[in-house]
């Protein structure tokens, strides 16, 4: 699904996070929005999450690109964000 800045699914994101998310989306990174965006719930996945199962190894892969690409990390760092693996299938994006 393609998102834009005004979509309700992105309403929980501060402006800098939306900018990073939309830039990554435009570049083809495997970014996703999880339905549970309240950090008090067990199934919280950060502001957004990155799929490790979409054959996008140039962005991240648990086994062959564990730390993520330089481009991914540059975009996240500029927004004051980082990702960490929840499991081999996805990484969650949080404030640094």
Q: What percentage of residues in the chain have a pLDDT greater than 90? A: 84
Q: What percentage of residues in the chain have a pLDDT greater than 70? A: 100
pLDDT of the residue at 12? 92
Maximum pairwise Cα distance, the chain: 35
* Residue of 16, 19, 13 whose CA lies nearest to 33: 13
Question: Domain residues of the chain, as ranges?
Answer: 8-95
Q: Beta-carbon neighbour count of residue 48 at 10 Å?
A: 26
pLDDT of the residue at 44? 83
Q: Which residues pair with 70 in a beta bridge?
A: none
Q: What is the pTM of this model?
A: 0.92
What is the Cα gyration radius of the chain? 12
Residue 2 has pLDDT above 80, yes or no: yes
């Amino acid at each position: 699904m393609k998102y834009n800045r005004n979509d309700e699914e992105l309403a929980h994101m501060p402006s800098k996070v939306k900018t990073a998310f939309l830039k990554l989306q435009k570049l083809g990174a495997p970014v996703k929005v999880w339905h549970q965006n309240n950090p008090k719930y067990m199934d919280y996945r950060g502001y957004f999450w990155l799929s490790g199962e979409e054959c996008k190894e140039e962005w991240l892969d648990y086994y062959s690109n564990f730390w993520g690409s330089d481009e991914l990390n540059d975009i996240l760092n500029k927004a004051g964000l980082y990702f960490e693996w929840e499991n081999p299938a996805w990484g969650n994006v949080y404030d640094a």
